Structure 1
Amino acid sequence: MTARFVHRCTHVLDKERTIAFYREALGFEVVRESGPEDGSWSNTFMAAPGCPFELELTWNRGRTEPYENGGMDCHIAFRVDDFERYHELHERMGCIQKENPKMGLYFIVDPDGQRIEILPERA
């Protein structure tokens, strides 16, 4: 048997703002979108070149309260090829939530509070 990680779902309040965040912060692009004709909800899938999984952004029309999305203990993580360049970008974006120089990593947060761990590529 073989299992393969396919996507991680996160619920969003402002789909366009979240899409723009992942595009700028990590180079993700929309690869497909689904939902009913009435537009009451949508699932937008985003991926980045070389990344073996997708993000699924679930949006529900009329939702005004933020989603929990697992709380501050849950996160997704990315290894990046130019750690310093990404750190500078994320500083400019103002999305760094916590830094841990001793461990050589930091966390950013998306517009819906999803924590994202940023790690350097392994040497």
Structure 2
Amino acid sequence: MAVRKIEHVGIMVSSMEKSIAFYRDIVGFELLGTLDHGNGTVKLAFLATPGAKETELELVEGYNGNLPAEGKVHHIAFTVDDLEAEISRIEKLGVTFIDPDITTLPNGARYRFFYGPDGEWLELFQPAT
């Protein structure tokens, strides 16, 4: 298996500024950066615990505000070295993909979502080089 680590956990937020302040000032994370998705609607922010950037928290604003009250966790992403190879490998195992194609972000990172056994959203993520 070519998954190297849990890349990030995506959490849906209604206010990027309010959520960044909360996770920074109350939880103690540091802001690593922000990014416009490129579709004109979604904004992203990435945070991590100080000095440890193994697993990040991704805040997602503008995607879907109609999620259940019990939680806004949107997906878990796994870092891979070769996105196409991993897609090919799990496709042969009968995985159902959510998006029809690989998405490339403006910073060059690429990803594709697929369903877990209970419908949970999982992401194969290849960082920008």
Q: Per the shorter chain, which TM-score range?
A: 0.3 to 0.5
Q: Please report the TM-score for the alignment, with normalisation by the length of structure 2.
A: 0.44
Q: Please report the TM-score for the alignment, with normalisation by the length of structure 1.
A: 0.45
